[in-house]
Amino acid sequence: METQVLIGKVALVTGGNSGIGFGAAKSLIEAGAFVYITARRQQQLDEALAQLGQNARAIRADVTSKKEMEDVAAIIKTEKGSLDIVFANAGGGNPVPLREVTEEYLDKTYNVNVKGVVFTVQSMLPILNDGSSIILNASITAYMGLEGFGIYAATKAAVRSFARSWTTDLKDRGIRVNALSPGVVPTEGYRTEQGMSEQQVQDYVDRVTTEIPAGRVGTSQDMGNAVVFLASEASSFITGIELTVDGGQTMVYAGKN
Ligand SMILES: NC(=O)c1ccc[n+]([C@@H]2O[C@H](COP(=O)([O-])OP(=O)(O)OC[C@H]3O[C@@H](n4cnc5c(N)ncnc54)[C@H](OP(=O)(O)O)[C@@H]3O)[C@@H](O)[C@H]2O)c1
């Protein structure tokens, strides 16, 4: 694939200070884009920015706040005039068995994964150029039952659904909307969000790798490559889809016959 396919493009990556969002920001910059990253933790934003370099800018903002996302849009408009790529990536959720699900947990998971994605895209609409690309971060859990992840999975099914509906809402402006569904990508979130120890992450990776035809778990760079593809002209006839990037885990039986 040609490398500098996004020269002159301006991108927003929510949750860009960590994990998949950081990997995507790196890939978008390598492809020539200028990238705004947002997240809540300032120190992690500063550290990420130091690694991303001069073609990035960090803005502290919580995706669950419409006001804060509108402020992000206002800053981008002032500094760059408009936007071409949105990767609505911020999100997460820890496993909780159904009997222990509380209203607070429901609200927290829904707010970041559903409300946050709506506010991100809605707030950027006025500054998005016609022909832009919006990429929503869903998850294979939306259609692959996983113990304790029922609420999280349901929020990701909503995200996947947005890609279909918003494609029709935005077709007059030629704005494409696609969902990315990562498979297993061991990120900081496994420890910070899901509370796993290093050893637990390693044990999980060893176990799950046997179920992945590609023979390995995913990386943030794998996701970044897919984001660049969905953001670029190479995918200009692709909209409303879910691109599953999971090493074949959900579609192929990896065991022996
Ligand atoms: N890793 C996987 O295996 C996997 C698989 C499928 C889907 N996903 C999805 O991929 C996305 C990124 O996850 P990750 O694995 O990269 O985890 P991560 O390393 O924990 O990253 C999560 C990011 O979201 C940000 N964030 C969380 N709540 C936010 C809020 N209210 N406002 C703004 N930013 C917020 C975090 O920054 P702050 O805490 O500083 O705000 C962080 O940058 C999530 O949507 C997740 O559901 C991950």
- Residue 145: CB partners within 8 Å, gap ≥ 6? 153
The residue contributing the CA closest to ligand 1 atom 41 is: 40
Query: 70: part of which helix (H) or strand (E)?
Result: helix 66-80
Q: Measure the CA–CA gap between 188 and 123, rounded to whole angstroms.
A: 27
Tens digits of residue pLDDT in 68-115: 999 999 999 999 999 999 999 999 999 999 999 999 999 999 999 999
Superfamily of domain 10-183+218-245: NAD(P)-binding Rossmann-like Domain (3.40.50.720)
If DSSP codes are grouped into helix, strand and coil, which group holds residue 257? coil
Q: Where are the domains of the chain?
A: 10-183+218-245
Q: Reply yes or no on whether the pLDDT at 1 is more than 60.
A: no
Among 152, 190, 204, 253, the one annotated catalytic: 152
From residue 222, how far is each of 71, 193, 215, 226 by CA, in Å? 31, 21, 14, 7
Q: Alpha-carbon distance 76 to 63, whole Å? A: 16
- 62 Cβ closer than 6 Å to some ligand 1 atom: yes
Under the banding of pLDDT at 50, 70 and 90, the label for residue 2 is: low
Among the atoms of ligand 1, which is closest to the Cα of residue 188? 19
For 47-56, what is each residue's pLDDT tens digit? 999 999 999 9
